[in-house]
Amino acid sequence: MKPNLNYIKQLANGNATFENRILGVLKRELPEEIDGFRNSINSLDYALAAMLVHKIKHKVSLLGMEDGYKLTADFEDELREGAKSLQDDFEGLLKIMTTFLNSINTETE
């Protein structure tokens, strides 16, 4: 599961300002969603956790992680049914995404 910027670069179509804007928002929004996800798991609010995992799922696909997308979709379904057996795998995915985004410099920083 290795993230890439293929989709974002294709979308930006050479527009560096737009590319930086997307990456800036991703870098700010993802940690907020991760915090919300962990808090909802800790408070056993799996419905809210599923909602936040759903939002993170879009970011997984933005970073071109096809395997990660499937894992996230499965975890979202599982949470809606009140289970969380895929939580460790999902946490691993979050770590990969966070490390990748932190390694990217954007002009907005």
| Chain contacts with other proteins (rule: CB under 8 A) | 7, 11, 13, 15, 18, 21-22, 25-26, 28-29, 48, 51, 54-55, 57-59, 61-62
In the bound state with other proteins, the residue whose beta carbon lies nearer, of 41 and 62, is 62
In the bound state with other proteins, the residue whose beta carbon lies nearer, of 21 and 84, is 21
Least distance to other proteins, CB of residue 66, Å: 12
Closest C-alpha to 62, from 1, 2, 8:
8
Burial class of residue 109 in the structure, from the number of CB atoms within 10 Å of its CB (0-12 exposed, 13-18 middle, 19+ buried): exposed
Least distance to other proteins, CB of residue 54, Å: 5
In the bound state with other proteins, the residue whose beta carbon lies nearer, of 22 and 79, is 22
Least distance to other proteins, CB of residue 7, Å: 6
* Longest distance between any two alpha carbons in the chain, whole Å: 44
Neighbours of 11 (CB within 10 A): 13
Helix (H, G, I), strand (E, B) or coil at 6: helix
